[in-house]
């Protein structure tokens, strides 16, 4: 019994009592030292090729655990067998010890294989850094295949993939690799057309099929891919390389994917197919691709007049030469940017006049007016144009002084009236404007121009301008306007009285004083305007 027991418990029970004690202390001491050393050994030391004490420590650590299991689990049974000579207890202990030994041994071997790197080659190391370093010295295609196809670390797979040159190994990785990146890399390095065609037609990963399609130029294979592949990206690669016009037209006109329709249209030369796409496709980007290649004026006109996408109408009008169509677009299109482009291409004075009269967008009307030179048309625009800026642009080109005077008096836009007044040089017209205008700004400005020409008729209007002010009793933009008018009127009046001293009578001075202190105000409350009339009162 003692012999069997000693064998089953790693000789711990051999010898006398003190031998057992000494053996236990020695075994646990050495195991503890080695295990402690293994805990302080780092992966960097392994990579630096130091003494591999970690492997040795791990081995003894596992052995120590096994010893503990056997020792403490079997100690109770040993006590029973030691004090009792019963044959039943003897065999129970032997069976239990054998079971514990087998369990411990299997656990130990499992730890060695799965949780340690004991007796493992570097390329199988649990650390990816160690495996990467080992790749520097590996040239075996078999090992490189295992790492490139099945290693759990992407960096290891990529480095291994870069070292493989054998076509057969590349084909295996392309078919069986665990990651699409390495499979795509393998496909890029494969030159066997048959293998590439098999991949592009049967592989389940669209990214891998796409990589294969990029390398294939055989038209029959590409056409099949374009028809049956389930991935738009893979089909797009094939369609870009296809030369079959019939298939391209079928894709461009009937395919459900607008991205593929666009790609197909770029390779189509048939004007009829391009026209059908430009007029009927539901996607504006697809229609745009077709429109860029179209020169047919009839189709361009239909797009310019009917397409609901402004960007496409803009492309179409840029290619149209028919003045009649351009006129329709200029008068009817809702987008001012398109109308502006069209007006720049029109030279017909009648159409330009109609545009200037009806268009409410200032840039469009201005361009039209700049191209018109007929005075009657310009006067018509200045009088009836819908946009104030357009009327102002027309006034700049009108020469008729009488007409300008009427505009300065009656137009509802202050900028138009000012522009008309700026172009008036006839004293009679200036006198008419000053006498009939109900706008203090226009009346004062006309009076100042009349005074600068030396006309004595300006005296009465200048005196009236001295009293110009806003309706409200608060400071407003209008009040600031009127202040400027009063200052200009005061300066012009002073200049006029110096030129014609005989006009500086007592009556005139009284009128000036009355105007200065509110005689001509639009409200009865007294307001001091001495800030603008000091020159007249001095």
Q: What is the DSSP annotation of 169-203?
A: HHHHHHHH-SSHHHHHHHHHH---HHHHHHHHHH-
**Percent of the chain having pLDDT more than 70?**
70
Rounded Cα distance between 416 and 298, Å, is: 42
Rounded Cα distance between 381 and 400, Å, is: 14
**Tokens representing residue 480 in the block:** 């600031």
Domain ranges in the chain?
2-120, 423-538
The per-residue pLDDT for 272 is 94
Contact (Cβ atoms closer than 8 angstroms) between residue 332 and residue 306:
no
pLDDT surpassing 90 at residue 529: no
For 135, phi and psi rounded to 5 degrees?
Answer: -65, -20
The per-residue pLDDT for 397 is 94
pLDDT band at 70 (very low <50, low <70, confident <90, very high): low
Which residues are CB-neighbours of 383 under 8 A, at least 6 positions away? Answer: 391, 403, 407
The per-residue pLDDT for 538 is 35
C-alpha dihedral sign at 178, 184, 186, 187: positive
Contact (Cβ atoms closer than 8 angstroms) between residue 430 and residue 446:
yes
527 vs 75, which has greater pLDDT?
Answer: 75
The per-residue pLDDT for 76 is 52
pLDDT surpassing 50 at residue 109: yes
pLDDT in tens, 453-485: 888 888 888 888 776 654 444 444 445 556 777
User: What is the three-state SS of 337-395?
Assistant: HHHHHHHCCCCCHHHHHHHHHHCCCHHHHHHHHHCCCCHHHHHHHHHHCCCHHHHHHHH
Which residues are CB-neighbours of 208 under 8 A, at least 6 positions away? Answer: 174, 180, 183, 184, 187, 199
Look up the pTM and report it.
0.61
pLDDT in tens, 190-243: 989 999 999 999 999 999 999 999 999 999 999 999 999 999 999 999 999 999
């Amino acid at each position: 019994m003692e012999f069997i027991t000693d064998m089953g418990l790693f000789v711990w029970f051999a010898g006398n009592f003190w031998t057992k004690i000494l053996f236990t202390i020695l075994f646990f001491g050495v195991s503890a030292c080695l295990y402690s050393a293994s805990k302080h050994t780092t992966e960097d030391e392994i990579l630096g090729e130091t003494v591999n004490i970690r492997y040795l420590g791990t081995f003894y650590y596992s052995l120590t655990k096994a010893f503990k299991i056997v020792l403490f689990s079997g100690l109770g049974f040993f006590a029973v067998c030691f004090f009792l000579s019963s044959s039943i207890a003897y065999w129970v202990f032997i069976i239990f010890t054998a079971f514990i030994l087998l369990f411990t041994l299997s656990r130990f071997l499992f730890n060695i294989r799965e949780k340690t790197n004991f007796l493992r080659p570097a390329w199988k190391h649990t650390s990816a850094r160690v495996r990467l370093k080992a790749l520097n010295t590996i040239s075996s295609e078999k090992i490189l295949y295992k790492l490139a196809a099945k290693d759990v670390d992407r960096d290891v797979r990529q480095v291994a993939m870069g070292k493989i040159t054998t076509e057969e190994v590349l084909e295996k990785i392309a078919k069986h690799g665990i990651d699409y990146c390495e499979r795509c890399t393998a496909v890029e390095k494969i030159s066997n057309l048959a293998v590439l065609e098999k991949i592009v037609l049967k592989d389940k990963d669209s990214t891998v099929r796409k990589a294969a399609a990029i390398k294939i130029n055989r038209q029959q294979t590409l056409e099949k891919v374009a028809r049956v592949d389930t991935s738009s990206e893979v089909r797009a690669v094939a369609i870009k390389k296809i030369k079959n016009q019939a298939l391209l037209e079928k894709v461009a006109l009937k395919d459900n994917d607008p991205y593929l329709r666009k790609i197909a249209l770029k390779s189509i030369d048939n004007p009829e197919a391009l026209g059908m796409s430009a007029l009927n496709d539901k996607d504006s980007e697809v229609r745009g691709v077709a429109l860029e290649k179209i020169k047919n004026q009839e189709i361009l006109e239909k797009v310019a007049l009917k397409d609901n996408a402004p960007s496409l109408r803009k492309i179409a009008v840029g290619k149209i030469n028919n003045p009649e169509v351009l006129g329709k677009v200029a008068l009817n299109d809702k987008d001012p940017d398109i109308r502006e482009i069209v007006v720049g291409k029109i030279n017909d004075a009648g159409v330009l006049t109609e545009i200037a009269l009806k268009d409410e967008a200032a840039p469009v009307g201005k361009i039209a007016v700049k191209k018109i030179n007929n005075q009657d048309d310009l006067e018509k625009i200045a009088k009836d144009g819908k946009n104030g800026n357009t009327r102002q642009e027309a006034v700049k080109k009108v020469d008729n002084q009488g007409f300008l005077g009427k505009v300065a008096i009656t137009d509802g836009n202050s900028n138009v009236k000012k522009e008309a007044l700026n172009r008036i040089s006839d004293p009679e017209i200036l006198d008419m404007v000053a006498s009939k205008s109900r706008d203090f700004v226009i009346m004062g400005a006309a009076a100042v121009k009349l005074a600068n020409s030396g006309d004595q008729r300006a005296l009465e209007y200048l005196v009236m301008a001295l009293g110009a002010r806003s309706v409200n009793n608060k400071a407003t933009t209008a009040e600031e306007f009127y202040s400027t008018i009063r200052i200009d009127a005061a300066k012009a009046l002073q200049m006029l009285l110096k030129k014609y001293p005989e006009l500086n009578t007592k009556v005139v001075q009284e009128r000036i004083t009355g105007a200065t202190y509110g005689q001509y105000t639009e409200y009865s409350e007294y307001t001091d305007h001495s800030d603008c009339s000091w020159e007249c009162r001095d």
